[in-house]
Structure 1
Amino acid sequence: MLLRLRVSLPDRPGGLGQVAKSLGTLGADILQITVLEREAGRAVDDFTVSWPGQMSAAEARERLSAVPGIRVEGVWPTREMPGSAPDYDLLMHVATEPARGFATLVDALPGLCGAEWSVAVADGAVRHASLAAPAEIELPEPPPRAITVGAKELQLMLLPVVTAGLHVVVARADGPVFHRAEVERAARIVDVVSKMAARA
């Protein structure tokens, strides 16, 4: 089972090694590490791990939280295969068929962002929805800039596309709040896609 773990740990020599050793002891195979931030003496990292058997997100969180100095911010299933380049694949699809740029973007964003679903919204109506998007959605107001909102059970990332008169909503139910590094990455991808689609 592929899981993503978001971990806050002391930013000091050997801190990352301690987490890696702890994960190995628990039976996890680390496939990828992404450093999200380093400030105020702590680092926030995303680990993509493979766990043999059916390790639940709750069990993984409980076992890793027992390691001194480590704070687990989220554990959730992921479909993104480490070493792949889904953002480049997305841009290649949009370059090939720019008229479908936003539909392609909406379909790809859940996988890119470790989320469940996404939609493109214009004038208060859904223009395109990814496969797992619910049939009924309470649509948020268009934001002036990329932001995150949400409650404990559902985190949203709102990405405006001013040139197209719409905004994109990305939803995560199982994981933590979208980190600012995730929001910045998604906003850059949306910006590139919007420029490519505008030329269609």
Structure 2
Amino acid sequence: MLLRLRVSLPDRPGCLGQVARALGALGADILQVTVLEREAGRAVDDFIVSWPGAVTTDEVRDRLSAMPGVRVEGVWPTRDVPGSAPDYDLLMHVAAEPSRGIATLVDALPGLCGAEWSLALAEGVVRHASLAAPPSFDLPEPPLRAATLVTEKLRLMLLPVTTHGLHVVVARADGPVFHRAELDRAARIVAVVSALLPTSSR
């Protein structure tokens, strides 16, 4: 099983190595580490690991949280394949068929963002939805710029596509609130896709 782990740990030499050794001792194979943040004496890292057996996310959280100074901010299944370049693949598909750019973007974002679903809204109406997305979605106050939002059940990224009068919503039920590094990356991807769309559709 592939899992993504978001871990906050002291930002000092050797601490990342201790977490890596602890994961190895638990049987996890670390496939990728991404540093999301380093400030105020702490770091926030995302690990993509291959975990043997049918381990639950609660078991993973409990084992890592026992380490001094380590906070587990999220553990959730992922479809990320380390070593691949899905963001480049998305942009290539949009460049090859720009008329389907928004649909291609919406279909790709869940995998790119470690999320369950995404959709594109225009004037409150769903224009395109990925698999598992709801048929309708209420966005009472669409933001003017990329933002995160937490509801009772979901963690959301809200990504305006101002050139097309759209808002893209990305959602996950498992895992932590979207980090600002994730939001910035998604907003840049949306901006590039928007620039690739046909002029006539803007």
Structure 1, gaps ≥5 residues long: none
My pick for the range that moved more, 40-49 or 58-67, is 58-67
Instruction: Read off the aligned partner of 2:180 and give its amino acid letter.
Output: R
Q: Secondary structure at the match of 1:171?
A: strand
Structure 2 counterpart SS, 1:186: helix
| Contact 1:11–1:41 under 8 Å retained in 2 | yes
Residue aligning to 2:75:
75
Paired residue for 1:164?
164
Runs of 4+ in 1 over 6 A off after TM superposition: none
Measured after TM superposition, the shift of residue 138 of structure 1 is 2.6
- What CA deviation, in whole Å up to 9, does each residue of 1:59-90 have, x standing for no partner? 11111111111000000000011111000000
Counterpart of 2:190 in structure 1 is: 190
1: CA distance between counterparts of 2:137 and 2:163?
Answer: 24
Name the structure 2 match of 1:149: 149
* Conserved? CA contact 2:117–2:133, under 8 Å: yes
Structure 1 match to 2:27: 27
2:60 counterpart residue number: 60
**AA in 2 matched with 1:180:** R
Task: Name the CA distance, whole Å, in 2 between partners of 1:54 and 1:153.
Answer: 24
1:105-184 matches, within 5 Å, as 105-184=105-184
Contact 2:124/2:137 (8 A) holds in 1: no
Percentage of identical aligned residues: 76
**RMSD between aligned alpha carbons?**
1.1
User: What SS is found at the alignment partner of 1:90?
Assistant: helix
Shift of residue 142 of structure 1?
1.7
**Secondary structure of the residue that 1:46 maps to in structure 2?**
strand
Query: Structure 1 stretch 131-140 or stretch 13-22: which is displaced more?
Result: 131-140
Kept after mapping to 2: 8 A contact 1:153/1:174: no
User: Is the partner of 2:24 in helix, strand or coil?
Assistant: helix
The answer to whether the 8 A contact 1:161-1:168 is kept is yes
The one-letter code of the counterpart of 1:22 is A
**Cα distance in 2 between the residues matched to 1:159 and 1:70:** 32
Q: Is the 8 A contact 2:125 2:136 kept in 1?
A: no
1:152, distance to aligned residue in structure 2 (A): 5.0
Q: Secondary structure at the match of 1:81?
A: coil
TM-score, normalised via structure 1 length: 0.97
SS at match of 1:94: helix
Deviation track 1:127-181 (CA, whole Å, cap 9, x = no partner) reads: 0000110234333432111000013531010001110111100001001000000
Structure 2, gaps ≥5 residues long:
none
CA distance in 2, matches of 1:90, 1:140: 29
CA contact (8 A) 2:8 2:43 kept: yes
> How many equivalent pairs are there?
200
- Secondary structure of the corresponding residue to residue 143 of structure 1: coil
- Aligned AA for 1:17? G
8 A Cα contact 1:2 1:48, kept in partner:
yes
Q: TM-score, normalised by structure 2?
A: 0.96
Q: Distance in 2 between matches of 1:65 and 1:155?
A: 22
- Secondary structure of 2:197 counterpart: helix
Q: Which deviates the most, 107-116 or 141-150?
A: 141-150
Distance 2:182 2:140 in 1: 20
